Structures are given as C-alpha cells and as structure tokens.
Amino acid sequence: MNRRILRITIVTIAAGTILLLYFFVEPKNGNLPKCFFHQLTGVFCPGCGVQRSFHALLHGRMVPAMNYNLLFVLLLPLLIYFVLAFAWGKKYETSSFIYKPIFSYSILIVVLSFWLLRNIPFMPFSWLAP
C-alpha cells in the first residue's frame, strides 16, 4: 500500500512538472532538447517531434500535434493507460493483451513502417515528418 502511494506521488509530481514545463516553454525559441539520433544522423526517428506535438496538444492544437508526430497522438491513449497502470502498480494478467504476440508484433510493424515512411522526402509521406 505504501509503495502504491509512493508511486502515485512520484508519477503525479513528474507529470505535473512536465505539464507545467511544456505548457510554458515555447518550442519556436529552440529551448527544447533536440533528438540525439536526428542530430547525429539527420534521419528522423519514430519519436522525433513528440515534444512539439505534446506542446501543441497542451494548447489544444490537435492538427499541428498530428503534423509533428502522428504516431504519438494515435498511441496517446495507450501511453496514458501504461503510465496510469505503472502509477497504480498494476500487475498484468497472463492473459493480458500486452503478452499477446499479435499485439507486440503489430506495435513493431507500426513503429518500423512509421519510421521508414516519415523519412521519404516527398508528399504524401513528408506529411509524417516533424
């Protein structure tokens, strides 16, 4: 029980800090840490654009958010579920969907194809680039 309270406290503080920070930081000023992989290789990774996308979402700008990182916006409900489950200290049942190979392979295929497609430098694929 104590561990659960500790987890919830940590997640609440972390989430609160991140929300506050991102609400007030303006990405156009270039204050956000840039993607390490993109700096190194010039190739967009599946996570590039998440910070700008998150910032846009916090300001209720849905379309720019999807422009920056479509995958992040689509997976957001799942990500929120995972974070809440972590905070609650949820133990996944053996029959849970996260242990189904079909789920893990779908995620893998979606992430890999998103990675590939967003690096194709012409329309309509360039729409996926951040």
Give the three-state DSSP class for 1. Answer: coil
21 binds another protein (CB under 8 A): no
Does 129 participate in binding another protein (rule CB under 8 A)? Answer: no
By CB under 8 A, name the one of 13, 20, 112, 120 that touches another protein: 112
4 is a contact residue toward another protein (CB under 8 A) = no
Q: How many residues bind another protein (CB under 8 A)?
A: 34
Cα–Cα distance measured from residue 50 to residue 45, given in angstroms and rounded to the nearest whole number: 10
Q: How far is CA 55 from CA 76, 78, 106, 128, in A?
A: 13, 19, 27, 17
Q: Are 115 and 45 in contact (CB under 8 A)?
A: yes
Q: How many CB atoms lie within 10 A of CB 45?
A: 18
Q: Is 77 in the site for another protein (CB under 8 A)?
A: no
Binding flag, residue 17, another protein (CB under 8 A): no
Positions that interact with another protein (CB under 8 A): 31, 33-38, 45-48, 50, 71-72, 75, 78-79, 82-83, 85-86, 94, 98-101, 103-105, 107-108, 111-112, 115
